[in-house]
Amino acid sequence: MSKKHSKHAKLTLRDGGEFAPNELSFVGAKCDVITNLVAQLAELLKEKIKMGYVDASHNKALEAPVLDVYTYHASSNTTISASVEKSKFNDRIRFSEYDLVCVNGNHFSAKKQVVFLDPEKENSIAKRIDQLDDVQFFIATEEHVDIFDCLLDAYPAYIDLPVYSIQSLDWIALHINSQLEIANLNGLVLVGGKSTRMGADKSQLAYHNMPQSDYAVQLLESLGLDTFVSVRAGQEIEKHKSITDAFVGLGPFGAICSAFMKNPNEAYLVLATDLPYISEELLTLLISKRNSKKIATAIKGKAAKFMEPLITIWEPKAYPILLSYLAQGYSCPRKILINSDVEIIEVEDALIRNVNTPEEFENVKKELKRLN
């Protein structure tokens, strides 16, 4: 039997709906009710998640502009007037940084739904019952409203879903926030570098009575992280699970992208092997300060000007940004941290001191011996 020909490479797809991995369409109320509710929820959730909203214009006379205009304000408020065709593939890029995208369900569908229980809209709900196959909860627009029979006939399990009053914004916000899962965190130890200045493989240097790559893996695994080592093509690592760098010649940038290529739905704590003073305490601090609302959580020395990209938690939402920088010809992880919304943790510079030469290696070994 001949194998079926495929035109596409077998890549792991990032979770996605019509707009984003986490999306909710609000159905069964007038557009202004939906818009006002989403705006209030965004205010309540702004410290916890980054939220976007998709709606349709009611201006029938509006035409796509000949000139796309971007008007920037110093407050970060940007007004955009552009000719953009709706496409779920382009939309997923456009909304890739959002933790939640809310959708006006009167105009667009989404993977998950919230249904308003407005008696005047029951017939409308019945007509679109097939689109309401993953309702998360209900919002009652008035007291003593039951879940509509048409919904229970089609989906009997909906009887157990919560029903909130439209006035109970705090409870609705709490429910939404509780359902947004933070991406699973893995460890990624970089061992694929050429170590040119050192003249020897830095990952195999022993500061703690074992190769530093083993030490780094041990640290990450002790914190409960499923940990991989990033390797060059042809480089064999028998002790640990590995991810081969698919971006040849791009150094740590390529290693991070290759990890996301393997699983774009999980986060990675990236750790270099030229950091002899790294400790369980420092990594515990980094994990405890993780801010999944931002693209990364990074450590910076107090006297340093910039963050250290190779002791950083990179969130899944960083993957499209990494690739967009690559498309511009940039492959520096630090440049992305500097120009993005990042959580920064400041520590003593000595804790993240790196080693690049044989002289530095010998000096650090002596110093660690004295400290121990």
Give the pLDDT confidence of 91-144 residue by residue, as tens digits: 999 999 999 999 999 999 999 999 999 999 999 999 999 999 999 999 999 999
Q: What value, to the nearest 5°, has the Cα angle with vertex 146 and ends 141 and 147?
A: 95
pLDDT tens digit string along 1-15?
Answer: 555 555 667 788 888
Residue 145 predicted with pLDDT over 70: yes
Burial state string for 201-229 with b = 16 or more CB within 10 A and e = fewer than 16: bbbebebeeebbbbbbbebbeeeebebbb
- CA 317 to CA 326: how far, in whole Å? 15
pLDDT digits (tens, 9 = 90+) for 295-333: 999 999 999 999 999 999 999 999 999 999 999 999 999
pTM over 0.85: yes
221 Cβ neighbours under 8 A, 6+ residues apart: 187, 227
Q: Which domains does the chain have, with CATH numbers?
A: 23-56+66-179 (3.40.50.300), 185-371 (3.90.550.10)
Residue at token pair 């159905």? 27
258 Cβ contact list (under 8 Å, min separation 6) = 230, 243, 244, 245, 246, 247
Cβ atoms of 183 and 316 closer than 8 Å: yes
Tokens, residue 33: 């009710």
Helix axis angle, 169-179 to 31-45, nearest 10°: 70
Non-local CB neighbours of 229 within 8 Å, separated by 6+ positions: 188, 189, 190, 191, 213, 217, 237, 240, 241, 242, 243
